[in-house]
A and B are shown apart, each in its own frame.
Chain A
Amino acid sequence: MVKKDKVVVFMKGTPAQPMCGFSNAVVQILRMHGVDEYAAYNVLEDQDLRQGVKDFSNWPTIPQVYFNGEFVGGCDILLQMHQNGDLVEELQKLGISSALQNAEKESK
C-alpha cells in the first residue's frame, strides 16, 4: 500500500475534508509545495487499517507520511522539514518539483 504511490498519507478524514488539525496540517503543507496528487487513506473509515499502519511503522499516531514506501514521520516532522528546506529536497528526490522551490527560483 505504501509503495504504490510516491507520496502516501494516512490521515483522519480526507484531503478535501480533514477531520483532525494535525492531519490538516500535513495536507496544507503538501498543498503549499504543489503536491496535490498523492494517495490519502482515511483511517477513521477502517479500524484495521488504523491499527495496521501503526504496527507497520511502529509509530503510535496519525497522520503518517510515506515517501517511496519509506516512513518519513508525522505532522511535526513534516512541518520541520518544510521549515528547514528538507522537504523541497526530499520531493526533488522523488522527482517532484516543489511549488515553493519554483517560486523561489522565479523570484530570483
Chain B
Amino acid sequence: MLPSVLRCARPISTSLALSRPLAHFRPHMDPDPSRPVERAIRTKLTDQLKPDHLEVHNESHMHAVPPGSESHFRVLVVSSQFEGLPLIKRHRLVNEALKEELSTCVHALAIQAKTPEQWGSNSTIAKSPPCMGGSKGDHTVEEKLKAGRE
C-alpha cells in the first residue's frame, strides 16, 4: 500500500511496525506471580477497560536494563470502550488505568488500543523499534528499576 519510500537510507533494522502472527499467543495469558508489575498491569486493564482481548508483553529484555526488569511494556487492548474515541483518548484511558505503574516503575509503555471491529479485521500486534540504548545511565530509569524491585 505504501510506496518504497518506506525503505529509508538509514535502515530501522526490522522497520517501524512489522506485525507478528498471534498463533502462539494465548488469548488470556496466565499471570506470573514472579512478575508483579505485569500482573498489576493485566489486572488493572482488565478491571477498568473490560477488554475482549488483552496482551501484556514485558519488553524490558529488549532494552538497556538488567535481566528480569519490568520497566518496558507493550500492551494490546481490544475493548468496546474505545468505540468512537480518537486514538489519543484511547491511550489516555490506558495511561489513566496504569497511572501508578507509570509514575513508579514503568518507564516505557507501547499501546495499541483497538475496538473489537478493528481487531476482527486486523488481529496483529505491532513490533517495537530496536532499542538505542537511551535507558543506560539514565538515572530516571534507574529510579524506576529500584521502585520496581521494592
B-binding residues in A (CB < 8 A): 12-13, 18-25, 28-29, 31-32, 44, 47, 50, 58-61, 71-77, 79-83, 99-100, 103-104, 107
Q: Is the CB of A103 within 8 A of B5?
A: yes
CB within 8 Å: A-B pair count: 87
A73 to B111, CA, bound (A): 11
Could you show 14 A-B contacts with beta carbons less than 8 Å apart?
Answer: A21-B128, A32-B6, A44-B138, A50-B140, A59-B95, A60-B95, A60-B102, A71-B88, A73-B87, A76-B110, A79-B126, A81-B87, A82-B16, A100-B3
| B107 / chain A contacts, CB cutoff of 8 Å | 61
| B contact set with A: CB distance below 8 Å | 2-3, 5-6, 8, 10, 12, 16-17, 87-88, 91-92, 95, 99, 102-103, 107-112, 126, 128-135, 138, 140
